[in-house]
Structures are given as structure tokens and as C-alpha cells.
Structure 1
Amino acid sequence: MKRDLYCKIVQAIEEHDPWFQQRRNAASELGLSSLQKVTAAFRMLAYDAPADSLNECLRLGESTIIESMRQFVRAIVEVFGDEYLRAPNEEDTARSLDMNQRRGFPGMLGSIDCVHWKWKNCPTAWSGSLNDINVLHRSHLLDNLAVGEAPKVQYSINGHHYTMGYYLADDIYPEWATFVKPIQSPVGRKRQHFVVQQAVAQKDVEWAFEVLQSRFPIVQGAARFWDQETLNDIMTACIIMHNMIIEDERPEGEVEHMHEGVGEEVVPSHTAKVW
């Protein structure tokens, strides 16, 4: 994260939440600064650092660091959630369609997959299994399709005209028109080539998850002592800041280019946003 973006976040959080505002105590001495508290939260997110390992370098108590973390992720969601967790707009959709058109997949909106975050100390009464299908049913990604409000897409394949975009998905996903799944036991060079290219294109979502986890290792290891609400805020805040970094690093007006080659992985110049 660049310094300007970091300062932007600190200023916005300080203006939004009084917890991060520096004040004087009864003895007229200045209390903890917003930079101390926000830095403590960032170090826990970006290094998965235990709270008690930060008290000396930041001069904060362990309980204050934990509370700063809880308040910070909640403030990130409240301040930036509407902008960076919104559904893709027309510009975002057009960018994705153009990029995937040049990769040989006209009408492709993206790839869909799930990433799991283990909750180590999950109470037995709350334990359960969430596979890709269960997550899909809880997701709002396809809500617009259910009411007939799909993005406007116009493309033709093999002489057939289509008006609905699609996502690349694994075999576990249901047989819906909006999902294109791998061909089972492809016969012939044409089908085999398509399967290879589809697998390469579908890696976009896996790369997005890997970049998210490398930027915020807290969501890579097992979550230990946070409650359900804070766990949700942590994951959501990391996704929001991931999207903020992607937007900040993309030069204005730049169109993503591909490095293409026959039989080679197609690597976008910028990692996709996580919606």
C-alpha cells in the first residue's frame, strides 16, 4: 500500500470514529494518536502479528491494540464499504468483457470460486460445513439474474447470438446457463484446447485470493479468538483494502493487457478486484 493511500485511510478513519481521535486526558497530556492505533491494526492484518508483540514498538497496551483492531475493521467497512464492495458498474463490466474477449472468451464476466478461512476455536454448537454450493446460496452475486436484471452483453459464438454473460466455474456448481463448466473427457484437439484455455482463464479468481492472502496474512492462517462479527469485519475490510490498492495502482485510463502465448498461462497485468 502506498503512503498516500495509507494516509487517506488514516484520515478517513479518524474523522469517522472518535476512538481514533487524539485527545488530552485529565492531566492535559496528549493521549494515543490515530497513527499508533491504525498502525497496530495494520500490523495485525498485514503480518498476522499477535497483539502482545506490538506493545513495545507502538507503546500500546495489549487490550488497546485488540480494541483498535476491532474498531478499525468496523470503520473500514462503514466508511469504504459502499464504494469498494458495490456490484460492478457498467465501466467495470465493460473492462472485464473487453479483457476476456481478447483472451478468447467473449461474454465472460469472470470466474467464480470460494476460499475457506478456518476458525480454529469455533464452538461445537456453531460448527458446520460450508462448501461452494452453500456459499453460492448465501451470496448476492446472482441476485440480479434471478429477477432478470443481468448486465447487458451482446456476443456471438459459432453463429449463435447471446445476451447474457457467464462465469467460468468448477464441476461442483449447478447446471445453470450463467455457469460454463469444464468439458468432461474432451475428445478432439479443439475440445482439448478449449479445456486448457478455460482452466488458464479460471485461475484469475485463484490468483485474486492468493494476492489477498499475501497482502493480509491474517486471513491465511487459522482465526483464533475473534468473535463472529469481528471475523466478518476482518475479512470484509481486507477485501475492501485489496480493492482500494488495485484501484490506486491502476494508472488512469489504462486498459489491462495480456501476455498471451499458445499453451501458456495468460496473466493479467493487474489482479482482479474481489467483489
Structure 2
Amino acid sequence: MIATIRMLAYGVSANFIDEYLRIGETTAIKSFKKFVKVVVSFFSEEYLRSPNNNDIARLLVVGQHREFPRMLGSIDCMHWKWKNCPSKWKGQYISHTRDPTIILEIVASYDLWIWHAFFGLPRSHNDINVLEQSSVFYELAEGCAAPVNYSINGNDYSMGYYLGNGIYPSWATFIRTIPAPQDRKRQHFASAQEVARKDVERAFGVLQARFAIMSGPARFFHLESLKDIMMACIILHNMIVEDEQHTYLGANDFDYDQIDDNGPEPVSHNPTCNLMQFIESHNSIRDRGIHSQLQADLVEHLWQLQGQL
């Protein structure tokens, strides 16, 4: 256990701790692999879960307080260098850089809890390719996600949204910044969006600081082992966040009664059986018209709040 934790926290190789702990290199590696597999097996259901009703209620209240009504978090990708990538795979794991890397996509909230993690695609993919293969919107498309009904600037919406950078598509479930804002309204919106979206960047930084194995090059040869290591680090990170949640901004400072409705309705865990309903949900997620309207309403909403200060 001590050898495994040291390898995760300090990013050292197995032969670095053989004399310190009197454990052979082979034994340390074997224990390390078993540890991460057990962590993923036993704790994934709780610490890699999608937001439940209580989680969504809290996220929505915090989003309202931060001037982005019904915001569920921020989404982005990072790359983990793969030192021992097999030679036959290097072509697909290298793009404009010289080193092969593996992509991690996460959704993080204000308290740095990671609600979604998708890992394993090669560097040759960009964020959009990763999004097309990830499961971030599976529950929403299948009708299993809790409804998020709200109104902004007189217009009604039925889905929450994530804050993303400029590469993400103009979908109803994403709010991006405005690249070159021309007036004060849009400049204020762009500034507020970029500030709130730093949550996911902070989550990446804290995750790498806590587990130095992620900030250095991956030394294992098998992709499955790297997936177990990544997911185990995220689970342990969420455990720490849960234990220290009282220290994060907004942990105890928000009044849940400020939501106008009665909170999210119960989640239906029965997937949509009707193909037409699935296609309709899928198209609603990718609706560019709703995206443009929501972004315009948020620009007006933030500007009105600015005028009240």
C-alpha cells in the first residue's frame, strides 16, 4: 500500500522504492496494478457517478449564484504523455508534437469534483473527436437524465449546459466564450464565461499536483493499465474533494430555496425505447439555434445583473 501510494503521489518508478521499503521492483509493480484495479472496481459507482438529484440541485444553485443559471460545470481535455507507447501505435498517438500522448476528457464543477471522465483516445484526435465518442450526453439522449427546466430573458429551456472553450461545437448543451467581443455587453459575458470555465483548468492542475504520476510520462506498456491508473487517481481525487468540501468556495454559503421551482424531478432510469424519441433528444442536444438563443439570453442576463451592482 505504501509503495503504491508513493508511486501515485510522487510519480516515482518501482525500482526507486525497493531499498526504501524493502520491496522488490516486481512485487511493487504487481501490488500497484492490483491496487488501482480494486479502487476502480469498488468505488467507481459512487465516485465516478453522474450527478444525482441532490448533486444537480446543488450545482444549479451554485451556477445561479455565479450568474450562469442552470450551469452544470465545465468541460475540457488534457493530454498524458505515454513514454512507453508501442512503436506500432506511435503514429496515431502523435500529432503536431513529437511525443505520443493519451487524451483525458473531464467535466468538473466549482468544487473541483470530476463528474465525468473519458480516457484512452490517441493524440491524433482533437476535442471534438473525443466528444463524439465520449458518454457525456448518453443519459440525456436516452432520457435518463434529470430534467433541468428554466427560463432566461423570457425564453424557456429544458437542458443544462457546460462551459467550454472555442473548439467545442455550437450545441444547446455548450456555452462558449465570444472570441472577439465588439461591445461592452459581450465583453462582460466573455470575461465572466472565461472566469467560470477556469474550474476545469483548476481541476486538471490539482489532479496533477496530487498525483505526480499524471504530470510525468506514463511508463506502462498496456493501455488498460493506464486507464486503471487514471480512473483510480480521479476516484481518489473525488474522495479528497468530498473530505475537504467545506473548504471550497460555496460549500455552505448557498441557499437552496433561491431556486424558483422545487428542484429537479426524479430521474427515470429506464432508457428511452422509442427510436424517434432518441433521435429527437439527440437533435435537441446539437441544436445550433437553441445555442445561439441561449448565448444571447445569457449576454443580456449578465448585463442586467451588472447594471444592478
TM-score for both structures, normalised by structure 1: 0.76
Structure 1 pair 256/214, CA: closer, same or farther in 2 (3 Å)? farther
Letter in 2 for 1:54: I
* 1:240 CA drift (Å): 0.4
Structure 1 pair 146/80, CA: closer, same or farther in 2 (3 Å)? same
Aligned position for 1:225:
220
More strand by share: 2
Aligned position for 1:89:
52
* 1:82 CA drift (Å): 1.3
Letter in 2 for 1:231: L
Letter in 2 for 1:205: V
1:54-133 equivalences in 2 (<5 Å):
54-127=17-90, 128=92, 129-133=124-128
Determine if contact 2:166/2:179 at 8 Å carries over to the other structure: no
Aligned position for 2:168:
173
Q: Which of 243, 247, 253 is the aligned partner of 2:242?
A: 247
Determine if contact 2:10/2:212 at 8 Å carries over to the other structure: yes
* 1:255 CA drift (Å): 3.0
* 1:251 CA drift (Å): 4.2
Q: Which 4+ runs in 1 deviate beyond 4 A?
A: none
Identical-pair percentage: 56
Q: Which of 183, 191, 201 is the aligned partner of 2:196?
A: 201
Determine if contact 2:220/2:226 at 8 Å carries over to the other structure: no
For each residue in 1:40-63, what CA deviation from the matched residue of structure 2 results, as whole angstroms up to 9, or x when unmatched? 000000001121121122111111
* 1:161 CA drift (Å): 1.9
Of 175-184 and 58-67, deviating more is 175-184
Aligned position for 2:274:
none
Matched residue of 1:110: which SS?
strand
Structure 1 pair 257/211, CA: closer, same or farther in 2 (3 Å)? farther
Give the number of equivalent residue pairs: 220
* 1:250 CA drift (Å): 2.3
Of 241-250 and 196-205, deviating more is 241-250
Give unmatched runs, 5+ long, in structure 2: 93-123, 255-309
For each residue in 1:104-143, what CA deviation from the matched residue of structure 2 results, as whole angstroms up to 9, or x when unmatched? 0001111110111111221232232132122212211111
More contact order relative to length (CA 8 Å, sep ≥ 6): 2
Structure 1 pair 74/198, CA: closer, same or farther in 2 (3 Å)? same
Q: Which of 9, 13, 16 is the aligned partner of 1:53?
A: 16
For each residue in 1:251-272, what CA deviation from the matched residue of structure 2 results, as whole angstroms up to 9, or x when unmatched? 49x83549xxxxxxxxxxxxxx
d(CA) in 2 for partners of 1:245, 1:212:
11
For each residue in 1:219-267, what CA deviation from the matched residue of structure 2 results, as whole angstroms up to 9, or x when unmatched? 1111123421110100000000000111112249x83549xxxxxxxxx
1:255-266 equivalences in 2 (<5 Å):
255-257=251-253
Aligned position for 1:28:
none
